[in-house]
Amino acid sequence: MTSNTESTSSEDGSTTDTDDTDPSDEYETTTAPGERAVQMTDEDGTHVLDIDDLAPDEIASVLDRAATVKAGEEEGRLADRTLALLFEQPSTRTRVSFEAGMSALGGTATFLGPGETHLERGEPVRDVARALSRYVDAIAARVERHETLVELATYADVPVINALSDRAHPCQTLADLLTIRESVGPLDSVTAAWVGDGNNVGASFALGCAITGVDLTVATPAAHGLSENVLDRADALGGAPTVTNDPEAAIEGADVVYTDVWVSMSDDADRDEKLADFDGFQLNESLLSAAPDAAVLHCMPAHRGEEIAEDVLEGDRELIWDQTENRMHVQNALLLELLNG
C-alpha cells in the first residue's frame, strides 16, 4: 500500500529505531517501476507516499478540484474531520498550509511537532500509527526517513500523506503542476527544466511530469543526479526526463525552469564541498537568457544567492508565491478526495 522509491540527497536524517522487522523491505520489492501501489478507492484506506501513488486520472481530479477550491466554488467540507500532522522537522509552509486548509474546510488539524510524541523516546512507529488511527481521519507526516512513512502506512487504518520525506514530496509536486497548468498552459504542451540537485523534490517532480505529459529536462552535476530508480519509474509512467550536466542546454526554450536548494539540512557538514559541485547552476539572468520567456519555480525556502539569484526570485518571471499558495489548495483537494470521495 505504498509506492516504490529510491533514496535521494535532500532532507535526509535519522529516525527512531523501531524493531527488527523493516516494512521498507517489502515496500522496495512489491511494486515494479510504473506499477501503482494504491488506489483512491482502496477499501483499506489510501496512502499517498509519492506522486505515482496517484493515477493520471486521479492527479487530474485533484488538480481540477484544487482549482475549484481556489476559486471558492468547492461545496465539499471536512466538518468533524481531524488531520494529524506528525512532523519530525520544523516547517513553515507545510504546517500552515495544512492547518489553514483544514480550518477553511471546517475540519481540525492537530500538530505533533519534534519532541512532542514518544517516538523520540523509543515508541515504535507502528504503535503511533495504530493509536492515531483511533483518533483522527488522516495523517500527514513530515519525516526524516521515508521508511518511517512506510511503517506508518503499513499499520495505520487511515490515509497517510507524505508531507515531505528524504525521498519524495508529492504535495509539492501537485502544487507545481497546478501552478504550471494555471499560469503556463496544458501540462502536455509544456516544456520544463529542472536545474540543480536531483533531490526529493526533483524526484517527485520528474515522476509528476512523466505522468502528466510535461516534457522535462533535468540538469544536475554528475554526482547529484536523479537515481536510476526514479528514472526507471518515470520511463514506465510515460517517459523519463532528458538528463544532462549542462544547465544552459537544459533550459533552452523552456516554458518553466525549476530549482531547489543545493544544500539541505542534512548536508551542512559537507556544505562547501557540495557548493563547489554546483558552480554554473545558479538560476540568474545570465543563465535564463537561454529561455527568455520562461517562468521560474522554487519550492522554498530558498538560499538566495546560491541556487537562485535575488533579482530572479524577486523578478517578473517568478511563479513562486502562486506555487506557495497552491500547496494549500492541492492539499485540500487531496484530503477531500481521500476522505469524501
Per-residue pLDDT of the chain (341 residues; tens, 9 = 90+): 333 333 333 333 322 333 333 443 333 323 343 333 334 434 444 899 999 999 999 999 999 999 999 999 999 999 999 999 999 999 999 999 999 999 999 999 999 999 899 998 899 999 999 999 999 999 999 999 999 999 999 999 999 999 999 999 999 999 999 999 999 999 999 999 999 999 999 999 999 999 999 999 999 999 999 999 999 999 999 999 999 999 999 999 999 999 999 987 666 768 888 899 999 999 999 999 999 999 999 999 999 999 999 999 999 999 999 999 999 999 999 999 999 97
Query: What is the domain count for the chain?
Result: 2
**Beta strands in the chain, from DSSP E residues, in sequence order:** 47-48, 82-87, 108-112, 138-142, 160-164, 191-195, 215-219, 242-244, 256-259, 295-298
Same domain, 236 and 155: no
User: C-alpha cell of 60?
Assistant: 487530474
Same domain, 260 and 126: no
Same domain, 145 and 206: no
- Rg over alpha carbons for the chain, rounded to the nearest Å, is 19
Polymer length in residues for the chain? 341
Q: Which residues are tagged catalytic?
A: 142, 169, 172, 260, 299, 327
pLDDT given for residue 341 in this prediction: 76
Q: What domain range is 270 assigned to?
A: 171-319
Identify the sign of the CA torsion 260, 210, 177, 172.
Answer: negative
Same domain, 181 and 84: no
In a domain, 14, yes or no: no
Same domain, 180 and 165: no
Please state the pTM of the whole predicted model.
Answer: 0.88
Same domain, 177 and 86: no
- Domain of 146, CATH number, reads 3.40.50.1370
In a domain, 4, yes or no: no
In a domain, 190, yes or no: yes
Same domain, 112 and 208: no
Backbone angles phi, psi at 160, to 5 degrees: -115, 130
Distance, in Å, from the CA atom of 172 to the CA atom of 154, rounded to the nearest integer, reads 23
In a domain, 13, yes or no: no
Same domain, 311 and 331: no
In a domain, 300, yes or no: yes
Same domain, 197 and 315: yes
